[in-house]
Chains A and B, each alone.
Chain A
Amino acid sequence: DQQVKQNSPSLSVQEGRISILNCDYTNSMFDYFLWYKKYPAEGPTFLISISSIKDKNEDGRFTVFLNKSAKHLSLHIVPSQPGDSAVYFCAASERGKGGSEKLVFGKGTKLTVNP
Chain B
Amino acid sequence: DAGVTQSPTHLIKTRGQHVTLRCSPISGHKSVSWYQQVLGQGPQFIFQYYEKEERGRGNFPDRFSARQFPNYSSELNVNALLLGDSALYLCASSSWTGSGYTFGSGTRLTVV
CA–CA, A106 to B41, complex, Å?
7
Q: What chain A residues lie within 8 Å of B101 (beta carbons)?
A: 46, 103
Give B100's nearest chain A residue, CB to CB.
Answer: A46
Does A44 make an interface contact (CB < 8 A)?
Answer: yes
Does B58 make an interface contact (CB < 8 A)?
Answer: yes
Q: What sequence of 0s and 1s flags, for each residue 82-112 of chain B, a beta carbon within 8 Å of any chain A beta carbon?
A: 0000000010100001101111111000000
Whether B97 contacts A99 by the Cβ 8 Å rule is: yes
Whether B106 contacts A101 by the Cβ 8 Å rule is: no
State how many angstroms separate the Cβ of A87 from the closest Cβ of chain B. 9
Q: How many residues of B contact A (CB 8 A)?
A: 25
Which single member of A93, A95, A105 contacts B42 (CB below 8 Å)? A105
Does A77 make an interface contact (CB < 8 A)?
Answer: no
CA–CA, A55 to B43, complex, Å?
25
CA–CA, A102 to B56, complex, Å?
8
Assuming the contacts A43-B90, A44-B43, A106-B42, asked whether A99 and B50 have C-beta atoms less than 8 A apart, the reply is yes
CA–CA, A100 to B101, complex, Å?
13
Does B44 make an interface contact (CB < 8 A)?
Answer: yes
Most buried by B among A36, A42, A102, A104: A102
Whether A101 contacts B56 by the Cβ 8 Å rule is: yes
Whether A44 contacts B103 by the Cβ 8 Å rule is: yes
Classify the interface of chain A: helix, strand, loop or mixed.
Answer: strand
Q: What chain B residues lie within 8 Å of A95 (beta carbons)?
A: 98
Give A105's nearest chain B residue, CB to CB.
Answer: B42
29 A-B pairs whose Cβ atoms sit less than 8 Å apart in the complex: A6-B42, A41-B105, A42-B105, A43-B4, A43-B92, A43-B105, A43-B106, A44-B90, A44-B103, A45-B103, A89-B43, A93-B98, A95-B98, A96-B55, A99-B50, A99-B97, A100-B48, A100-B50, A100-B55, A100-B56, A100-B97, A101-B97, A101-B98, A102-B45, A102-B48, A102-B58, A103-B33, A105-B35, A105-B44
Interfacial residues, chain B to chain A (CB-CB below 8 A): 4, 33, 35, 40-45, 48, 50, 55-56, 58, 90, 92, 97-98, 100-106
Interfacial residues, chain A to chain B (CB-CB below 8 A): 4, 6, 34, 36, 41-46, 49, 89, 91, 93, 95-96, 98-108
